[in-house]
Amino acid sequence: MRTGAEYREALHDGRRVWVLGEGLIEDVTVHPATRAVVDEYAAWYDRHADPAWQDVVLTPPDEQGGRSPWGYIVPKSAADLGEWGDPSRRRPSSAAAT
């Protein structure tokens, strides 16, 4: 899993992005129309390495102790979807708002 900084750097790959009413923007990581989305995705990546968030954003350990990001898991049942929608899983009780 990459870090938020690696995600931001990956966005500097020569992509061309146009914003309605403004035209071509040079850098999606700092432009007012796209910066907030980039910030949220970077924070999502960083939460995977934050011990306070791991029980929220990662699956329980498998038989080998490995964990996967919930965002990469395909639901297999309605119960899976119900668990993902549980508000208590969205933020660790010890984490400050990030």
Q: What is the pLDDT of residue 79?
A: 81
- H-type alpha helices, 1-98: 4-10, 35-47, 54-57, 78-84
Q: Which CATH class is domain 4-89?
A: mainly alpha
Give the start-to-end residue ranges of the domains of the chain: 4-89
Of 83, 95, 84, residue with least CA distance to 53: 95
**Of 50-54, 55-59, 83-87, the least confident:** 83-87
- Is the pLDDT assigned to residue 54 strictly greater than 60? yes
Give the Cα-Cα-Cα angle 80, 2, 53 (nearest 5 degrees): 50
The predicted-structure confidence for 11-20, as pLDDT tens digits, reads as follows 999 999 999 9
- Is the pLDDT assigned to residue 93 strictly greater than 80? no
Entry pTM: 0.75
